[in-house]
Structure 1
């Protein structure tokens, strides 16, 4: 029996590296030789520190990693749309395929008991091989690398959905609050959609500096008591589209209050609460608040195509790369909150 190396998250800030059997693809499945697998903040929050969640949200002790990208090595029976050698990213939720959400492509919102996320309820990408359903694959354009692919699988796809929900166009000024990997991706995508001005806000100076160095922002601000007025000044009254990627109550409030009248405020950052004055901050300004959770399979496919056409590459946002054998160090760094995007590179 062929064996492979795989990483598991038992909780208690630990990563277990195990030798396990190489998986065999079933009907409608493919086996990928893994190339790149991203780390996501949700892995840290919900699994690495302490297993959180019940029923369908519960981590099931599987191979970790829900941002997989690799090359198809073998096909199971019934596969018709992909072939051996294809370079792909994996939409990280495998849904039932029949509920309204799945039929719209939003497998993330599938409520069927069989819904399973890679790296949460079924084996994920932190291994030398991964078995994935053919229906969950997105082919990578030639100019995108496996590093781009793994980032698109969750973080960039999530940012892209927020940009679409905010209806960003060349007429818009866009502000992003929270310049972690998803926030930086949102700025990159806003530029791709033609935003005439981009503004980045974060509590950490180094993150603002990173956004500036990468050429993603017209203006960058460290969050403080004067930030709202500064944003209103450079935008002549507020950004027409704001996106909160911080998940922080003050960040969410800033995003809403910095939205221009008749503008759109998109909440992407997970967990927590926000308090605002309904009349002053929302109704009287004719603002819209939009919730956006991950993306659809269709939009992930379109995101990859758009990035290739725009010549924008998520790999430019990656700050740290680790080998699979270094997975414990990768997670330890991610848990500090002081890094940018981290990926595990799985080489032949």
Structure 2
């Protein structure tokens, strides 16, 4: 008997309360409604954004998900069924859910100046789908879905504008990471900073996003890449991905911006902040050279102000932010998958742990302790 049009009961890791371990539960996943797709999740990464929501960190523009919630947004899977009006997906397609939608019709999607999408942005930040509700229930309660995705489940339902089809021969337990972390850091260097050949770069923070930014700087042809982190154990991986120098701020009794300025005769050409700290953001900007130095903020920090001396910008530095590395999600992610399959983009090197869904809380522990770059949860 097929499952199309029926409620599917399956395992999921539900966050019932903030700051509490996830609970393995049997959930009910309703059939997709109009312009929605139900997916069988094969693999999903454990990302800092999941942890931030678990800790009740406000989302951009004041968004705040409500509990209970199904976290998870960095995933890959197979289409199980489609809702009315869906024409771009079919049962059996290999897909990657997207936390940044691309409707292809709104003002943002039609502009080459941004990769953002206006359609249903507010609903997605609240963890609900197009009609303002979720497709996941447990013990009679609606479970919201992080970014309208919720991939810590064997099945989930997502809006069709938040999904892209990829080649079927791609290993889903690897390319799932192209749904967030790797794409974000890599694109921050390639698309947002527009790192130039022969330039000097500094990447602040060597988590998955920072390491991917290092990889992006190398791909863009940077001649010197400074990997900045207080954890010296992260340098070997950064070096593997292209870093030429490692700088630990704890090793110096002067500001890190001054250290980098002295090492580069005035400052780096490009700096990428991948931590999510206003103090580090300012340090990254001040590490850039005058006249043309560019700093890109990749890390997210809510409800805090960053104070700057106007002269920091008046002398010619540029400060900008990026979201999902500037990629137009639906059209770009399949190309990134192709780059991985053609050995132009590293992904395997980011996977440090593989765990079953039953051990997902260990994945969070590994991330918090700094012992993992990415833990991939395999559903089967």
TM-score (norm 1): 0.86
Query: Shift in Å at residue 207 of structure 1?
Result: 1.8
Partner of 2:89: 82
Match of 1:334 among 357, 362, 367: 367
Query: Shift in Å at residue 125 of structure 1?
Result: 0.7
Query: Shift in Å at residue 144 of structure 1?
Result: 4.4
Query: Shift in Å at residue 88 of structure 1?
Result: 1.8
Matches within 5 A, 1:1-348: 2-10=8-16, 11-47=18-54, 49-50=55-56, 52=58, 56-94=63-101, 99-104=106-111, 106-107=115-116, 113-116=122-125, 117=127, 119-120=145-146, 122-141=148-167, 144-163=170-189, 164-212=191-239, 214-224=240-250, 225=252, 227-261=256-290, 262-271=292-301, 272-279=304-311, 281-284=312-315, 286-294=316-324, 295=326, 296-297=328-329, 298-309=331-342, 311-347=344-380
Cα pair distance change 1:201/1:60, threshold 3 Å:
same
* Unaligned stretches of 5+ residues in structure 2: 1-6, 129-144
Deviates more, 1:264-273 or 1:139-148: 139-148
**Inter-partner Cα distance in structure 2 for 1:310 and 1:189:** 14
Query: Shift in Å at residue 95 of structure 1?
Result: 7.5
**Inter-partner Cα distance in structure 1 for 2:339 and 2:305:** 33
CA deviations on 1:127-163 (whole Å, 9 max, x unpaired) are 1112223332223346743234322212123224422
TM-score (norm 2): 0.79
Cα pair distance change 1:125/1:248, threshold 3 Å:
same
1:259 alignment partner, SS class: coil
Cα root mean square deviation, aligned: 2.9
Maintained 8 Å contact 1:102/1:110: no
Query: Shift in Å at residue 283 of structure 1?
Result: 1.7
Maintained 8 Å contact 2:148/2:158: no
**Inter-partner Cα distance in structure 2 for 1:171 and 1:218:** 13
**Inter-partner Cα distance in structure 2 for 1:318 and 1:340:** 7
1:147 alignment partner, SS class: helix
Cα pair distance change 1:103/1:24, threshold 3 Å:
farther
**Aligned length in residues:** 343
Maintained 8 Å contact 2:74/2:177: yes
Maintained 8 Å contact 2:106/2:117: no
**Inter-partner Cα distance in structure 1 for 2:14 and 2:102:** 23
Maintained 8 Å contact 2:36/2:159: yes
* Unaligned stretches of 5+ residues in structure 1: none
Query: Shift in Å at residue 186 of structure 1?
Result: 0.9
Query: Shift in Å at residue 23 of structure 1?
Result: 3.5
Query: Shift in Å at residue 45 of structure 1?
Result: 2.2
Maintained 8 Å contact 1:91/1:136: yes
